[in-house]
Structure 1
């Protein structure tokens, strides 16, 4: 290669060779590493196509990039960024930074299904070198911006885990520090965890331009310990950002390449990660050579912006004269969608393992460097949040400097003593006063003395760490020590207050024009609300649908958004939407600006929210793990939010298919509740039931009859599930019988059921009572036997639990359950009742809490309402007369109530005729059909006479 003298770094090589021989007791591995570092730097600076190494979100890199762009004015800028993200770069001018470029795929084709949805993000901040390059290329006529990194599809193709089979593959973990895509988990104690801070990015795979951090844990630990810092962000700020902030271009390039080479040569030999790194470099150089050959551009007029780690590449494809042996494989059939999503400083820190507040500190340092160096940064025309340069203040177009071979700047940089910045007392004093003011606002008992203590402690900590000027991290430690003291009175601790004071967490916003069509459609349809929904925070929307009928469309949109977006994006305060019901007034808390990312990602799935909802409902219904209950839920959502019969009938038929293939009863309770609601809705809103729901009831009746004997004996089937099966069979029985089902199948299923547990035994008794196979007197006798037997009284609470669950299929037993509980309290002595009572309460609470209100209402109806009535109150089950045998029935002539019925014979005659009895009324010996009926069943006449007499 040409362009620089052969002996540029010969002096530095000789010094390092001598040092290696001295400290390592002879040449060896250390010499190879040290000389290899110089070779990497020499190779990179000799390359005709200028390589500009950067570090992600580094103010020093951004300042150096701005200076170099104004000096060189390249015609082509090659940028290390996914090549398929190029079309969306122009939309950055419609956003407020920070934002993230995103590639999103809902459905996968060629990747394990467990990885879906696939998402790749590349965050952009104003204090980043890549943004300066993008702004320069897009706003400078005649300049071409070319993205040369692998596509988003190849990000997942080249992941080592993608080479495994689908059965064993797991989705790449964005918090895994071994991820080869710049996705770094944090080992810093102060780094934010993957939670609320990372919400703007979710679980997307993050891409960094310049992932410059030691991959050798021992090396990072060594640097932190000897640098007397707590985490990597502080080390980088102290030993790289500040020294390189005012350096010239050659010094900056050589130092950054040296750092990248050092971290590369001392990285662990992970074959998968090394292969991905080298493939990325081969891909980028192959793309650049293809572009140079296609356009005929002179490499001297180009600039290659990449991470310092990749600038020290040693692959054979390196350089414009490298080998063309690398073949870029085809992309998979996955359909990718591209767009912009809002980002934030906290999200970037959480995703890339940076210390909390480090990106905010970098933004503050960037603004300070601009004021100090008077460098005019590049900014996209119309960029939100930054304003345009004032007239007359923009920097004049620079004349490209003549090409001068770079000289050895590393020797001087490595030899110079560390620069001791002069203490800026005014700045430090302002920080100290401001943190005390912020602490007071947040409930701390801070005073002027604390401000003085923070000032002095910051200087003391900086001196202990060999720094003349306290860094923001020194000041943060001093503030925590002097102000926080014992407790945190409010929501924010002092460390967080310092982060806010240093710039805080800045959140970006995607402008209306940059939103996908779906998101713009949502904002247009919600325009009648007259709310600024693109702003962050919660907005209260009041919908008087009765007074303003046009707001009903807004209500429809909000209910669909509540179904599609995360919790909190659209939250109803007043109003409800259920089958067959619509509210005339509604109140909503809306935070669409806060959840803008989720709304944007909906736009990757369709062009309207109705289409997205329909696709999701179909996907849920046809999922491999779909159950009849989940498919019925999709039917209900389709009816609620989409209307019409087409989709609901399609999903209903799918529910029928799933039910017929199920072999378990886990979803029986939910199936029962949902099919009841759907039946009630269709019976009141449709002239006839849909064919699918009739088939579902018919199939479900036979299905649950078949499973009932097994469910009674299966330990895995809970009593609640069995009760739900009986509830389905009893409540749907009339419809099922009208559709051709046979009740004998249910009777046989109960006859074949032989439960072993006490709760299921009580449930079976209740079912047989409902079908007439067991009378209430027999059921009452069995309960009395349980209470009277010392061997079974301990199990009585579990029987009561079974009766309580029986209220689901047989709600008419509620009075009997009250009687059974009351008898236990009345008959059991304290010695038995008190140890037994906790078991009863816990059993009833855990086993049937949702059925307790039914039992309580029945008890309230049964027991007296006042204390005075209690003394004369008799339980209904004790006051109830017990009819004797037929041979002891009084003669009809003297039966009570006969005179009343004889005076009004029409009613009794009609009932007797209905039952098929014959005869006539007579004064002496009644033989009419009504008289014969009264003679056989005198209790009815007695009860009627007593009722009328009491009235």
Structure 2
């Protein structure tokens, strides 16, 4: 009692169904006119939204710094959270309800946010004192499995006992300064409520705070001094959907629990809890096409009940349910048990907030676009195969690419299960993470719509000092995929300017493939890229002019980098199908291939490329291979040349036994010490071949192919095959 006001403090465990049921019963018995709940005091204006039928937990209060949205904190609530039940009770019974913890504006100004703080759970000490190694088992047995109408142990009396136990624990615990300030603020809110005329005040807070709020409040001056001058930030708050998986301790949430899905089940189904649970498990397994019958459910329920009796427990807990699931429903398969744990024990339920919940304009635009394109936010990863020839899928693709540019990773590229070699297919993996709400707030500084924000962020990256030609080219490629038409001309201009200022041939070569891909495939999305084609031609001209001088005096690492760039440019030019551009490129390669001052990995590669396109015939190629492996070259240089010539694929040697014989003779003639020196390079070269290529080469070197070629023929069997083929084709034999 404080004056004429009666104050009752209910110390709860965050997100405990037993606490939630006990709070509902205690409030119904006490009938308070004011309910104070642990939570940020500056979120009071948003409490009314909890009365909406569209507010479906799990949800969370999101607070972030207006000028620095990455600094954010969440206060999650599930249906089985005692705070949520207290909030709903107050709304339904017209009681005054407020949050009483430190405002988010102060919490966010602290070095450590309230949800990131790592602090021991004092209730674990009670579990140990009760003889339980596992705190969850103790809480299940003492609190969570208490049914309505049970003895007072799970009702209001349990709160008094917990508060008394917390007093003992606090006596041996050094409270940090942040906790002391939080409790001082709670007492100040209590004093304010009393002065405002409240008569019956219920305080719902974490059990560790309960002793600090129980009994006489004492003078206000010490608390006022403790709170005076605390730093603040400009904070914005709103409600956002949350998921059960983000309530789990494994997600890093400071007040997390191990089994939110199980706790939701306990709260939702207080009667026949075990049988209903195994029915849900059976449904999940049947969705995986596993043979689970009603008999399995009955036997699993019996086993769980028996285990509970053997362990002296009134009702089966999660441990009994897990063991019965493994033994009966999963046949001892831990992989299936893990599936049940992910889908049910932890769970992936996603909450919802009313449409009129305050949000940034960017989020409102994203929600509207998602609804139009039928993209639903879901906590479980879902594959989305898009056919860009369809307008709906094309619009979806553009939206997802725009979100990717903004750093909102709702969707990530994935491998498609549909076999296709065209450029009109995309596959994404969609999974909504509640913390993407922070990413949306961060991205909102770029614009009020997804398209405008994506365009602004692309142009900002392109204009930053130090942005390389390759980076700008990649931005253009992404902008085309996102259909940012207003940004494309500016990016083309930026590429032209960057190319003119960049004198590094490797940079130019690294940017050229993306340019050529854009020119080649950009028209699939209906964008005019004529000006970009001129830029690509100019970059190619500079590459052809600078490559001969850039390949001299290189160490092995630099030569390998140039080789990879040469491969990429060569492949890109083949896609472009421009004879003039290809001719200039091949002339440049021809000027490099016979030089002695160039690393062998480059001369070998250029000889191979010129041979593949028909510039060199078999004789010219054989002469160059023989010369590279001649006596005058060092073994290491020869190995580098071979690496460049055949590295990445061995089909050339499979079909050209003359070249294979030259290389085989060279390797066979190496001295022991030379062989040891070149072995790493040879192993890398031949190790990159496909398994089938290595097998064929091994047989050829051993003479296996010749043996098969000279093997006796069987004309009778061949005639039967020809006859069958003729009948199929309908031609006379």
Q: Tell me the TM-score normalised to structure 1 length.
A: 0.54
Q: 1:628 to 1:234 in 2, by over 3 A?
A: farther
1:686-765 equivalent positions in 2, closer than 5 A? 686-689=529-532, 708-709=551-552, 712-713=554-555, 715-717=556-558, 719-724=560-565, 754=597, 758-760=600-602, 762=604
- Residues in 1 aligned to 2:122 and 2:503: alpha-carbon distance in whole angstroms: 53
1:235 is the counterpart of 2:138:
yes
Equivalent pair of 2:517/2:572 in contact (CA under 8 Å): no
Q: CA deviation at 1:802?
A: 1.9
Alignment of 1:640-651 (within 5 A): 640-647=481-488, 649-650=490-491
Do the aligned partners of 1:638 and 1:647 also contact (CA within 8 Å) in 2? Answer: yes
Secondary structure, aligned partner of 1:685? coil
The CA distance in 2 between the partners of 1:494 and 1:617, in whole Å, is 40
Q: Which of 528, 548, 557 lines up with 1:685 in the alignment?
A: 528
Q: 1:544 to 1:726 in 2, by over 3 A?
A: closer
Tell me, yes or no, if the aligned pair for 1:618 and 1:651 is still in contact at 8 Å: no
Q: Distance in 1 between matches of 2:652 and 2:309?
A: 81
2:33 counterpart of 1:80: no
> Does the Cα contact within 8 Å between 1:631 and 1:655 map onto a contact in 2?
no
1:309 aligns with: 208
Residue 180 (structure 2) aligns with: 278
Cα contact 1:763–1:802 (8 A) shared by 2: yes
Q: Any idea what the Cα deviations from partners look like across 1:637-657, whole Å, max 9, x if unmatched? A: 112323425355248627955
Change (3 A) 1:659 1:90: farther
1:145 and 2:45 are equivalent in the alignment? no
Seen in structure 2, the aligned counterparts of structure 1 residues 151 and 569 have a Cα distance that, compared at 3 Å, is: farther
Residue 251 to residue 627, structure 1, CA distance change in 2 (3 Å): farther
The separation in 2 between residues aligned to 1:575 and 1:730, in whole angstroms, is: 22
Partner of 1:340: 240
Q: Equivalent residue for 1:533?
A: 376
Q: Tell whether the 8 Å contact from 1:77 to 1:145 is kept in structure 2 after alignment.
A: yes
Distance 1:306 1:795 in 2: 75
| Alignment pair present for 1:638 and 2:479 | yes
Give the whole-Å Cα distance in 2 for the aligned partners of 1:535 and 1:570. Answer: 17
Matching of residue 359 in structure 1 with residue 260 in structure 2: yes
Give CA-to-partner distance per residue, 1:228-277, whole Å, 9 cap, x none: 4342111223345568973597634432322333443434x5xxx71222
- 1:617 is aligned, of 458, 462, 471, to 458
**1:472 paired to 2:378:** no
Distance 2:542 2:230 in 1: 51
The alpha carbon displacement at 1:81 in A equals 1.4
Change (3 A) 1:329 1:657: farther
Is the 1:479–1:494 Cα contact (8 Å) retained in structure 2? no
Q: 2: CA distance between counterparts of 1:678 and 1:438?
A: 45
Cα deviation, residue 124, structure 1: 0.9
1: CA distance, partners of 2:291 / 2:640 = 54
**Structure 2 residue 515 is the aligned partner of structure 1 residue 675:** yes
Q: Aligned to 1:213, what secondary structure does the other structure show? A: coil
Q: Does the CA-based 8 Å contact 2:326-2:332 persist in structure 1?
A: no
Aligned counterparts, 1:142-181, within 5 A? 143-151=96-104, 154-155=107-108, 157-159=110-112, 181=115
Counterpart mapping for 1:535-574 below 5 A: 553=395, 556-557=398-399, 560=402, 564-567=408-411
Cα deviation, residue 660, structure 1: 5.5
Q: Report the CA distance shift for 1:653/1:245 in structure 2 as closer, same or farther (over 3 A).
A: farther
Q: How does 1:476-875 map to 2 (within 5 A)?
A: 476=321, 479=324, 483=328, 487-488=332-333, 491-492=336-337, 496=341, 500=344, 505=347, 507-511=349-353, 513=355, 516=359, 518=362, 521-522=365-366, 524-525=368-369, 533=376, 553=395, 556-557=398-399, 560=402, 564-567=408-411, 583=424, 595=432, 597=434, 600=437, 603-604=440-441, 605-606=443-444, 607-618=448-459, 621=462, 627-647=468-488, 649-650=490-491, 653=494, 670-680=510-520, 685-689=528-532, 708-709=551-552, 712-713=554-555, 715-717=556-558, 719-724=560-565, 754=597, 758-760=600-602, 762=604, 781=623, 783-789=625-631, 796-803=638-645, 822-825=658-661, 828-829=664-665, 832=668, 843-844=684-685
Whether contact under 8 Å (1:560, 1:641) holds in the other structure is yes
**Aligned position for 1:99:** 59
**Aligned partners of 2:11 and 2:207 also within 8 Å:** yes
2: CA distance between counterparts of 1:794 and 1:266? 71
Aligned residue among 457, 460, 472 for 2:310: 460
With over 3 angstroms needed to count, the CA separation of the structure-2 counterparts of 1:838 and 1:596, relative to structure 1, is: same
Which residue is equivalent to 1:350?
250
Q: Aligned residues, how many?
A: 658
Q: Secondary structure at the match of 2:14?
A: coil
Cα offset for 1:151? Answer: 0.9
Q: Counterpart in 1 of 2:722?
A: none
> What's the offset of the Cα at 1:788?
4.4
CA distance in 2, matches of 1:513, 1:574: 37
Distance 1:318-1:279 versus aligned 2 partners, 3 A rule = farther
Distance 1:288 1:212, change over 3 A: farther
Q: How far apart are the structure 1 equivalents of 2:482 and 2:540? A: 24
- What is the CA RMSD across the aligned residues, in angstroms? 6.1
1:298 maps onto 2:256 in alignment: no
CA distance in 1, matches of 2:237, 2:569: 45
**Pair 1:365–1:152, CA change in 2 (3 A):** farther
User: Are 1:59 and 1:241, in contact at CA under 8 Å, matched by a contact in 2?
Assistant: yes
Is 1:63 matched with 2:26? no
Offset, 1:103: 3.3
Q: Offset of 1:504 from its aligned partner?
A: 7.2
Q: Distance in 2 between matches of 1:679 and 1:474?
A: 61
* CA deviation after TM superposition for structure 1 residue 507, in Å: 0.7
**Correspondence 1:129 to 2:82:** yes
User: Gapped runs of 5+ residues in structure 2?
Assistant: 582-587, 698-707, 710-733
| C-alpha contact (below 8 Å) 1:704/1:725 kept by paired residues | no
Q: Secondary structure at the match of 1:127?
A: coil
Give me the whole-angstrom Cα distance separating, in 2, the residues matched to 1:626 and 1:241.
Answer: 58
